[in-house]
């Protein structure tokens, strides 16, 4: 076994990455060869210096990553709305939309004729879509539903009532499946 | 909205939650790897963020039998080597091609700047650490990556081969050549570190 061969194996020997037999051969050579044992000692010190390097502490934590992840998830769900909204509209969705327009027009005219002291509108619990903008949303960065995009709504009704809040305002995870999650599903299914 | 869609959305929600937990758990370790590769905080932070975002994009392909740290190390080192090549406009020729025929001492003569006169009264180990990091920065990215994965992160050759998507023989050669080049650089600046006697 010549020195050249031994020296080409010294790092692997140092790292205990040789087979038992080869390890033994290198070891017995090093014990009897000054040149190779000197070279081995230098490599050992180099590794030692590397291992002594301290773990570097980042100046900021993982928040920046989490914020960017949330933004990315929101973007994906918005793209999905566009794709799903215009691709997979079925006839019955069209029919429901048309019916909704009819019902709304009828309801609108009824309300217009009702005297102002009737408390019908304000005492009724507000459905989700008509929630006032001051209430925090259950959903992070909620995007319009496909049905919302199809059904015309009165101009004075806040349909997209979700206030835009700082990202950290929203809980990281909801206990209920979010709409954006559903959009994810559609997005991946339609690809 | 079908039941399947709802079930899948809940599944996505769980995956997102799981991934966020992984970010929090491994951020510091990943950052440390990025720092030892890039040598500065700003690049390390960028690289760390990009690695996590890319990992998220491909999370559905993650095989949980591989430790997450190894998987994200693979993504990060790929990003790093690509970016390094792009910035330095170096050709992506295989290191093995350059070294294929040699076995012994003569490594590639890298263009290492002369470190200048070394102060004789160096007692501060911090200065050694700086010299080690500086030396790492002089290595070719593949060598630096292999050495950092082995000696800083403590990975086995088998794991490094998986992370760097190469053979164990290549890993062995990269680590050996990387260490030898590093030793030469440090020794030129701080010869006392390699003189006879115990390591500090
Ligand atoms: Zn020898």
Greatest alpha-carbon span in chain B: 75
> Residue A141: left (phi > 0), alpha (psi -120 to 50), or beta?
left
Across A70-74, A149-153, B23-27, least confident range: A149-153
Cα–Cα distance list, A90 to A16, A146, A147, A185, B66 (Å): 65, 12, 11, 18, 43
Q: Which CATH number fits domain B122-200: 3.40.50.2000, 3.40.50.2300, 3.40.630.10, 1.10.10.10?
A: 1.10.10.10
User: In B, which residues are within 8 Å of A189 by CB distance?
Assistant: 5, 8
Report how far residue A166's alpha carbon sits from residue A181's, in angstroms, rounded to the nearest whole number. Answer: 20
Report how far residue A70's alpha carbon sits from residue A140's, in angstroms, rounded to the nearest whole number. Answer: 9
Among A56, A71, A93, A146, the strongest candidate for a mutation testing the B interface, having the largest count of B CBs within 10 A, is A56
User: What pLDDT, on the 0 to 100 scale, is given for residue A73?
Assistant: 87
- Residue A117: phi and psi, rounded to 5, are -80, -5
Per residue in A104-158, pLDDT (tens digit) is 666 666 554 444 433 333 333 333 333 333 333 333 333 434 443 444 433 333 3
* Angle value at C-alpha A26, between A23 and A30, nearest 5 degrees: 135
User: What pLDDT, on the 0 to 100 scale, is given for residue B96?
Assistant: 43
User: What pLDDT, on the 0 to 100 scale, is given for residue B155?
Assistant: 98
Among A46, A96, A191, the strongest candidate for a mutation testing the B interface, having the largest count of B CBs within 10 A, is A46
Confidence of residue B193 (pLDDT cuts 50, 70, 90): confident
Question: Residue A75's closest CA among A143, A154, A176?
Answer: A143
User: In B, which residues are within 8 Å of A47 by CB distance?
Assistant: 151, 179
Does the pLDDT of residue B89 top 70, yes or no?
A: no
Count how many pairs of residues, chain A against chain B, have C-beta atoms within 8 Å.
Answer: 144
Across A52-66, A72-86, B176-190, least confident range: A72-86
DSSP notation for A83-104: HHHHHS--HHHHHHHHHHHHHH
Per residue in A18-31, pLDDT (tens digit) is 999 999 999 999 99
Question: Residue B163's closest CA among B176, B179, B145?
Answer: B145
Cite the residue boundaries of each domain of chain B with CATH code 1.10.1740.10.
1-89
User: What pLDDT, on the 0 to 100 scale, is given for residue B90?
Assistant: 54
Question: Residue B145's closest CA among B69, B66, B78?
Answer: B78
User: What pLDDT, on the 0 to 100 scale, is given for residue B181?
Assistant: 97
Q: Is residue A164 a contact partner of residue A139, using CB atoms and an 8 Å limit?
A: no
Share of chain A above pLDDT 90, in %: 36
Q: Is residue A132 a contact partner of residue A126, using CB atoms and an 8 Å limit?
A: yes
User: In B, which residues are within 8 Å of A188 by CB distance?
Assistant: 8
* Angle value at C-alpha A40, between A34 and A44, nearest 5 degrees: 145
**Helix, strand or coil, per DSSP, at residue A14:** helix
**Would you say the ipTM is above 0.90?**
no
Does the pLDDT of residue B48 top 50, yes or no?
A: yes
Residues 6+ apart with CB under 8 A from B9: A177, A178, A181, A182, A184, A185
User: What pLDDT, on the 0 to 100 scale, is given for residue A13?
Assistant: 98
Beta carbons within 10 angstroms of residue A90's beta carbon: 8
Query: Of B5, B16, B176, which is closest to A11 when you measure between CB atoms?
Result: B176
Report how far residue A99's alpha carbon sits from residue A88's, in angstroms, rounded to the nearest whole number. Answer: 19
**Helix, strand or coil, per DSSP, at residue B151:** helix
Among A6, A55, A65, the strongest candidate for a mutation testing the B interface, having the largest count of B CBs within 10 A, is A65
Q: Is residue A145 a contact partner of residue A161, using CB atoms and an 8 Å limit?
A: no
User: What pLDDT, on the 0 to 100 scale, is given for residue B83?
Assistant: 87
Residue B21, CA atoms < 13 Å, CB-side half-sphere: 7
Enter the tokens of residue A31: 């014990």
User: What pLDDT, on the 0 to 100 scale, is given for residue A81?
Assistant: 63
Q: Which one has a higher pLDDT value, B111 or B62?
A: B62
Query: Of A55, A59, A186, which is closest to B41 when you measure between CB atoms?
Result: A59
Q: Is residue B69 a contact partner of residue B26, using CB atoms and an 8 Å limit?
A: yes
- Residue B181: phi and psi, rounded to 5, are -65, -40
Query: Of A47, A62, A69, which is closest to B151 when you measure between CB atoms?
Result: A47
Share of chain B above pLDDT 70, in %: 78
Q: Is residue B9 a contact partner of residue A185, using CB atoms and an 8 Å limit?
A: yes
Report how far residue A32's alpha carbon sits from residue A17's, in angstroms, rounded to the nearest whole number. Answer: 21
Cite the residue boundaries of each domain of chain B with CATH code 1.10.10.10.
122-200
Cα(B140) to ligand 1 centroid in Å equals 28
User: What pLDDT, on the 0 to 100 scale, is given for residue A45?
Assistant: 94
Per residue in B140-185, pLDDT (tens digit) is 999 999 999 999 999 999 999 999 999 999 999 999 999 999 999 9
Enter the tokens of residue A171: 């809980």
The single residue listed with the structure tokens 């305002």 is A169
Q: Which one has a higher pLDDT value, A108 or A2?
A: A2
Q: Is residue A26 a contact partner of residue A18, using CB atoms and an 8 Å limit?
A: yes
Does the pLDDT of residue A56 top 80, yes or no?
A: yes
Computed over every residue of chain A, the mean pLDDT equals 65
Enter the tokens of residue A125: 């619990």
Confidence of residue A79 (pLDDT cuts 50, 70, 90): confident
Highest CATH level, class, for B1-89: mainly alpha
């Amino acid at each position: 076994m010549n020195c050249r061969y031994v020296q080409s194996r010294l790092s692997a020997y140092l790292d205990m990455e040789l087979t038992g037999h080869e390890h033994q051969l290198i070891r017995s050579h090093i014990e009897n060869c000054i040149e190779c044992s000197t070279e081995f000692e230098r490599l050992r010190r180099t590794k030692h210096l590397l291992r002594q390097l301290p773990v570097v502490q980042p100046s900021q934590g993982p928040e920046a990553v989490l914020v960017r992840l949330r933004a990315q998830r929101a973007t994906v769900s918005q793209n999905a709305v566009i794709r799903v909204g215009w691709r997979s509209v079925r006839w019955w969705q069209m029919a429901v939309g048309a019916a909704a327009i009819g019902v709304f027009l009828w309801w609108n005219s009824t309300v217009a004729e009702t005297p102002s002291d009737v408390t019908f509108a304000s005492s009724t619990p507000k459905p989700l879509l008509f929630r006032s903008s001051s209430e925090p949303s259950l959903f992070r960065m909620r995007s319009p539903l496909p049905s919302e995009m199809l059904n015309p709504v009165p101009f004075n009704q806040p349909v997209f009532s979700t206030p835009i809040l700082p990202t950290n305002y929203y809980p990281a995870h909801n206990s209920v499946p979010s709409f954006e999650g559903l959009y994810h599903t559609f997005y991946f299914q339609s690809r | 909205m079908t039941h399947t869609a709802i079930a899948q959305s809940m599944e996505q929600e769980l995956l997102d939650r799981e991934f966020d937990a992984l970010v929090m758990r491994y951020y510091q370790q990943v950052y440390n790897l990025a720092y030892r590769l890039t040598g500065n905080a700003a690049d390390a932070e960028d690289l760390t963020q990009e690695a996590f975002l890319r990992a998220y994009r491909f999370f559905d392909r993650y095989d949980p039998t591989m430790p997450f740290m190894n998987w994200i190390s693979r993504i990060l080192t790929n990003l790093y080597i690509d970016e390094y090549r792009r910035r330095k406009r170096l050709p992506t020729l295989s290191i093995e091609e350059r070294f294929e025929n040699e076995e012994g001492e003569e490594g590639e003569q890298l263009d290492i700047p002369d470190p200048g006169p070394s102060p004789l009264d160096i007692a501060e180990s911090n200065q050694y650490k700086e010299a080690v990091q500086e030396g790492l920065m002089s290595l070719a990215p593949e060598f630096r990556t292999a050495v950092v994965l082995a000696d800083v992160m403590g990975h086995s050759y088998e794991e490094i081969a998986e992370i760097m998507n190469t053979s164990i023989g290549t890993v062995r050669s990269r680590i050996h050549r990387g260490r030898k080049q590093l030793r030469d650089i440090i020794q030129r600046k701080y010869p006392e570190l390699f003189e006879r006697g115990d390591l500090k």
